[in-house]
């Protein structure tokens, strides 16, 4: 597989795809490593994870540079992404020693519960955030005593491969954490069908997520799904309109809009709609799109030529483009930040996840109308609410059917707090204090007295 730099279109490296036989052999190694890893004393497992975190920290600049070259992420984002893996490893290292059960007095004796690891966990990662999404799966899974096989996206395997090396250097035993670059239809699919894999953690499109869930049902396999989004950024007339408009581009164009949490619908209350658009235009034109290795760049290219074609198809001649930012000429899969104002709520620009730097602005009348529009989608991942009324902020937060909302902010991800989707945006939660428990089975033992 040729790994292409999306900012230059040059081949960065060639990676050998893992075959079906090699996938089976890796799953077998993970299965064999399980009893040893499960029985590492919790304090020692915690120490190994902290050493892994320290190795990521020491390699942070290298990991970030790899991601810039492989994914076209801006260097600022890529540093944050490597730091997120380090932080999550440290946070998860606090878990093994605190993975406590309960003792429940019952007639005739006492019940004791244990959180047992599930077994081999298969993690399938998309190309848009190769490092964090890998870490959200492997760090808590390892902390709970599982072994992990991980498949990065075909387009972006380099940082995951490096993370596996760092895990080995930190002292993870053989077979505990393996990264298998290759095709979803070969490696990922084998995670779903192989009986030794007890849980699949999948992040990607809703279409593939549905297939994974159906496949896992065959063996009643545990599954966590993190899928698509068409998230609303709701701007009420009582909000700080200057701030809402200045930040809106970063709520959607970060990572060139290739973000499941991108606020790709901006809903604006009618009385401030014109003022908001007046302020939004210079903010969008001001987004610095360019060489992702340059620290002043705020947005890089799209991931591939094929993806650029897919995004462009949403904007044929005559599309309702209000205004656009800039993008470099020449090699690279560049696409300018684009604001559209579709006349119909059933326009695909309003209903579909474009996964590029395209945002639809839609007016609304009152609070009920805003909630109705925000919920008029089968997705339910994230969203923002801009208002100066704390009561409204809470009412609307409770009414919007989405897993991760922010008030007067656009950030969705903090490793201390749970993350996941409502409706067809996913199943289960990652991150936060309960993440490790999602990789365990509760065992209940009765001891007769």
Q: Counting contacts by CB under 6 A, is residue 381 touching ligand TAP?
A: yes
Using the rule CB under 6 A, is 355 a contact of ligand TAP? yes
Q: How far is the CB of 379 from ligand TAP (least distance, A)?
A: 9
Q: Does 353 bind ligand TAP (CB under 6 A)?
A: yes
Nearer CB in complex with ligand TAP: 134/268: 134
What x-and-dash track marks residues 251-280 binding ligand TAP by CB under 6 A? ---------x--------------------
Applying the rule CB under 6 A, the residues between 94 and 153 that interact with ligand TAP are 124-129, 133, 151, 153
Q: Which residue has the tokens 């239809």?
A: 185
CA 45 → CA 90, 132, 222, 313, 403, distances in Å? Answer: 12, 21, 23, 49, 31
CB 222 within 8 A of CB 118: yes
Residue that is written with structure tokens 């499109």 in the block: 205
Among residues 339 and 381, whose Cβ is nearest to ligand TAP? 381
- Applying CB under 6 A, among 247, 426, 429, 439 the residue interacting with ligand TAP is 426
Q: What separation in angstroms does the CA of 61 have from each of 15, 27, 83?
A: 22, 31, 10
90, 154, 226, 430: the catalytic one is 226
* Interaction of residue 189 with ligand TAP, rule CB under 6 A: yes
The least distance separating ligand TAP from the CB of residue 395, rounded to whole angstroms, comes to 25
Specify the residue, 205 or 408, whose C-beta has the smaller distance to ligand TAP.
205
Minimum distance between the CB of residue 266 and ligand TAP, rounded to whole angstroms?
Answer: 18
- One residue of 131, 208, 302, 311 binding ligand TAP per CB under 6 A: 208
Rounded Cα distance, 199 and 271, in Å: 50
226 is catalytic: yes
Kindly tell me which residue out of 23, 203, 224, 440 binds ligand TAP, with binding defined by CB under 6 A.
203
| C-alpha–C-alpha distance, residues 188 and 200, integer Å | 9
Binding string, residues 167-186; x marks residues near ligand TAP by CB under 6 A: ----------------xxx-
Pick 180 or 279: Cβ nearer ligand TAP: 180
Task: Give whichever of 249 and 426 is closer to ligand TAP, judged by the CB atom.
Answer: 426
Name the minimum Å distance from CB 430 to ligand TAP: 7
Applying CB under 6 A, the span of 66-74, 92-100, 171-179, 204-212 interacting with ligand TAP comes to 204-212
Which pair of structure tokens corresponds to residue 287? 């987004």
| Nearer CB in complex with ligand TAP: 153/235 | 153
Question: To the nearest whole angstrom, how small is the minimum distance from the Cβ of residue 124 to ligand TAP?
Answer: 5
Q: How far is the CB of 171 from ligand TAP (least distance, A)?
A: 28
Counting residues that bind ligand TAP (by CB under 6 A) gives: 31
Q: Is 20 in the site for ligand TAP (CB under 6 A)?
A: no
Least Å from the CB of residue 101 to ligand TAP: 29
Nearer to ligand TAP, 48 or 311 (CB): 311
Nearer to ligand TAP, 136 or 276 (CB): 136
CB of 311 to ligand TAP, least distance (A): 12
Return the number of the residue (117 or 420) whose C-beta is nearest ligand TAP: 420
Helix/strand/coil (H, E, C) string of the chain? CEEECCCCCCEEEECCCCCHHHHHHHHHHHHHHHHHHHCCCHHHHHHHHHHHHHHHHHCHHHHHHHHHHHHCCCHHHHHHHHHHHHHHHHHHHCCHHHCCCCEEEECCEEEEEEEEECCEEEEECCCCCHHHHHHHHHHHHHHCCCEEEEECCCCCCHHHHHHHHHHHHHCCCCCCEEECCCCHHHHHHHHHHCCCEEEEEEECCHHHHHHHHHHHHCCCCEEEEECCCCCEEEECCCCCHHHHHHHHHHHHHHHHHCCCCCCCEEEEEHHHHHHHHHHHHHHHHCCCECCCCCCCCCECCCCCHHHHHHHHCCCCCCCCEEEECCCCCCCCCCCCCEEECCCCCCCHHHHCCCCCCEEEEEEECCHHHHHHHHCCCCCCCEEEEECCCHHHHHHHHHHCCCCEEEECCCCCCCCCCCECCCHHHEECCECCCCCHHHHEEEEEEEEEC
Shortest distance, position 35 Cβ to ligand TAP, whole Å = 28
Find the residue with minimal CB distance to ligand TAP.
Answer: 184
Tokens of 8: 């230059």
Active site residues: 226
Which spans of this chain sit near ligand TAP (rule: CB under 6 A)?
124-129, 133, 151, 153-154, 183-185, 188-189, 203-205, 208, 211-212, 226-229, 260, 353, 355, 381, 421, 426
């Amino acid at each position: 597989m040729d790994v292409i730099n999306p900012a230059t279109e040059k081949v960065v490296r060639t990676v050998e795809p893992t075959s079906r036989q090699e996938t089976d052999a890796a799953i077998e190694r993970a299965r064999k490593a399980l009893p040893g890893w499960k029985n590492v004393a919790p304090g020692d497992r915690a120490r190994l994870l902290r050493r892994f975190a320290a190795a990521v920290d020491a390699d942070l600049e290298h990991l970030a540079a790899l991601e810039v070259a492989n994914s076209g992420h801006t260097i600022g984002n890529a540093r944050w992404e490597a730091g997120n893996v380090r932080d999550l490893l440290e946070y998860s290292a606090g878990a093994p020693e605190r993975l406590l059960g309960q003792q429940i007095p019952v007639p005739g004796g006492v019940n004791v519960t244990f959180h047992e690891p599930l077994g081999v966990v298969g993690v399938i990662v998309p190309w848009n955030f190769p490092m964090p999404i890998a870490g959200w799966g492997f760090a808590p899974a390892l902390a709970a005593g599982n072994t992990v096989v991980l498949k990065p996206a075909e387009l972006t395997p380099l940082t995951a491969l490096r993370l596996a090396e760092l895990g080995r250097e930190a002292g993870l035993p053989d077979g505990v954490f393996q990264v298998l670059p290759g095709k979803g239809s070969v490696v990922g699919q084998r995670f779903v069908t192989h009986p030794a894999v007890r849980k699949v953690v999948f992040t990607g499109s809703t279409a593939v997520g549905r297939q994974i869930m159906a496949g896992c049902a065959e063996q009643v396999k545990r599954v966590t799904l993190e899928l698509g989004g068409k998230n609303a950024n709701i701007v009420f007339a009582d909000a700080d309109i200057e701030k809402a408009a200045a930040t809106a581009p970063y709520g959607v164009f970060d990572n060139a809009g290739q973000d499941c949490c991108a606020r790709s619908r901006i809903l604006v209350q009618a009385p401030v709609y014109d003022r908001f658009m007046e302020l939004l235009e210079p903010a969008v034109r001001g987004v610095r799109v360019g060489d992702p290795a340059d620290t002043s760049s705020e947005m890089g290219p799209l991931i591939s030529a094929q993806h650029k074609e897919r995004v462009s198809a949403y904007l044929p001649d005559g599309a309702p483009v209000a205004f656009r930012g800039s993008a470099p000429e020449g090699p690279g899969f560049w696409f300018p930040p684009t604001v559209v104002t579709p006349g119909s709520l059933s326009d695909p620009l309003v209903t579909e996840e474009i996964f590029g730097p395209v945002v639809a602005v839609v007016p609304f009348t009152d609070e009920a109308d805003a909630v109705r529009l925000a919920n008029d989608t089968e997705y339910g991942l994230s969203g923002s609410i801009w208002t100066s009324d704390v009561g409204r902020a809470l009412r609307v937060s409770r009414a919007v059917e989405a897993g991760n909302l922010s008030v007067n902010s656009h950030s969705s991800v903090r490793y201390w707090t749970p993350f996941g989707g409502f409706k067809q945006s996913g199943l289960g939660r990652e991150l936060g204090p309960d993440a490790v428990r999602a990789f365990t089975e509760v065992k209940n033992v009765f001891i007769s007295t």
